[in-house]
Amino acid sequence: MKLIEAVNAYMAAQALSREKMPYATALAVVKVKRATSDLKDFFVEEERKLVEEYAARDEDGRIRVNENGRFALRAGACAADYEKARKELAETETGAEGEKMRVRAPETITPEQLEALAPWIEWEAEE
């Protein structure tokens, strides 16, 4: 499993964890969060290092952020180099494999969440 897949699974589980659901479904969501939490933390830390390396800073030494909420590149930094380094990080193989759990599907779920949780959760539709 790639690192970004684990991060996406964590984020999907985090979003779903705000909803009420049957116990077995909630347990599956919690298990996904626990299984991916350290990988998400690792990704965030490594991504922060990349930002530190490529970001422009203001006169107080803080990272400059543009109107879109993204950091501004420092002089001489190449956006393509940053994107390449971030892609390499995201595509790092983790060796993590999901423990497939079969549970009842929540009433609502986004396609993005469904895809992100697919390595761990097989959803049973209500009939």
Domain ranges of the chain: 3-124
Structure confidence by residue, pLDDT tens digits, 64-114: 888 888 888 877 778 888 889 999 999 999 988 877 899 998 888 999 999
In this predicted model, what pLDDT tens digit does every residue of 106-125 receive, in sequence order?
A: 888 999 999 999 999 999 98
Give the pLDDT confidence score for residue 62 in this predicted structure: 87
CA 71 to each of CA 66, 76, 84, 96, 98: distance values in angstroms, whole numbers, following the listed order:
6, 15, 16, 31, 33
pTM for this predicted structure: 0.84
Type and span of the H or E element at 13: helix 3-16
Element (H, E) at 4: helix 3-16
DSSP state of 62: P
pLDDT > 70 in the chain, percent: 98
Type of residue found at 37:
S
Note whether 86 and 54 are within 8 A (CB): no
Residue for token pair 């490594």: 46
In sequence order, what are the beta bridge partners of 121? 101
pLDDT at 70: 84
